[in-house]
């Protein structure tokens, strides 16, 4: 099913306008009237697509989660980090960093905790679970602690990279992420 181009453009305008306003104001201060005016649409048009601003933010987060998860799945946790080289792991991580750069308005708000308060942890959860399962065959009583630490570590690193203006190249940041995660799993995860 293809979406009508007008609907797609309207939703893009609403999304973009919302993220721009959210960068300047707290969520609670944003009104549908203001959002509609700034997006150059009527309130009726807004409500044709979303129930309210809460529905809008949920749909934005869900859309971003779906897209990020698709790219994350391409990392194939069953082959990481044991059976592939550092360079291959970095190569697989780069599309995630491209996605972050392509959607920087969203990820800056995530880093500032204005949207998706536990977004990275939630999205990374399934991947980390699969990665942990591929590394540990035995019953490890500390596994849940280890998973929480790696989720928090990853989220913190992604947020810092975005907050500091992505000063490190994507390749250098990917190398940092791969090596940090490998060091944790191999030194503390066994």
Domain ranges of the chain: 1-50, 59-188
C-beta separation of 103 from 112 below 8 A: no
Residues 189 and 10: their CA atoms lie apart, in Å, by 48
What confidence score (pLDDT) does residue 161 get? 95
pLDDT surpassing 80 at residue 79: no
Token look-up 């979303």 returns 50
pLDDT surpassing 90 at residue 145: no
83-139 confidence digits (pLDDT tens): 578 888 888 889 999 999 999 999 999 988 888 877 777 787 777 777 666 655 556
**DSSP assignment letter at 65:** H
What confidence score (pLDDT) does residue 77 get? 57
Give the homologous superfamily in CATH for domain 1-50. Homeodomain-like (1.10.10.60)
How many CA atoms lie within 13 Å of 160's alpha carbon, on the beta-carbon side?
Answer: 10
Residues 135 and 77: their CA atoms lie apart, in Å, by 9
What confidence score (pLDDT) does residue 187 get? 55
Q: Taking residues 10-39, report their average pLDDT.
A: 96
Token look-up 């609907």 returns 7
DSSP percent split of the chain into helix, strand, coil, nearest 5: 75, 0, 25
Round the average pLDDT of the chain to a whole number and report it. Answer: 84
What confidence score (pLDDT) does residue 3 get? 67
39-64 confidence digits (pLDDT tens): 999 999 999 999 999 999 999 999 99
What confidence score (pLDDT) does residue 189 get? 47
Extract the tokens encoding 10: 């309207």
In CATH terms, the fold of domain 59-188 is Tetracycline Repressor; domain 2 (1.10.357)
* Closest listed residue to residue 89, CA positions, set 161, 150, 167, 179: 179
Residues 12 and 166: their CA atoms lie apart, in Å, by 25
Extract the tokens encoding 77: 């946790």
Residues 172 and 66: their CA atoms lie apart, in Å, by 26
CB neighbours (10 Å) of residue 10? 18
């Amino acid at each position: 099913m293809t979406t009508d181009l007008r609907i797609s453009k309207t939703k893009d305008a609403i999304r973009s306008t919302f993220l721009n306003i959210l960068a300047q104001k707290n969520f609670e201060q944003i009104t549908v009237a203001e959002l509609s005016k700034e997006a150059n649409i009527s309130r009726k048009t807004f409500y044709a697509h979303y129930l309210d601003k809460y529905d809008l933010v949920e749909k934005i987060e869900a859309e971003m989660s779906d897209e990020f998860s698709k790219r994350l799945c391409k990392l194939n946790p069953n082959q990481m980090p044991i059976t592939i080289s550092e360079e291959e792991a970095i190569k697989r991580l780069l599309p995630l960093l491209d996605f972050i750069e392509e959607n920087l308005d969203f990820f800056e708000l995530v880093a500032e905790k204005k949207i998706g308060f536990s977004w990275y942890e939630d999205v990374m959860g399934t991947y980390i679970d699969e990665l942990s399962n591929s590394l540990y065959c035995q019953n490890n009583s500390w596994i849940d602690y280890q998973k929480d630490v790696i989720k928090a570590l990853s989220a913190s690193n992604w947020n810092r990279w975005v907050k500091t203006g992505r000063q490190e190249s994507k390749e250098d940041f990917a190398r940092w992420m791969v090596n940090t995660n490998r060091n944790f799993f191999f030194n503390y995860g066994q």
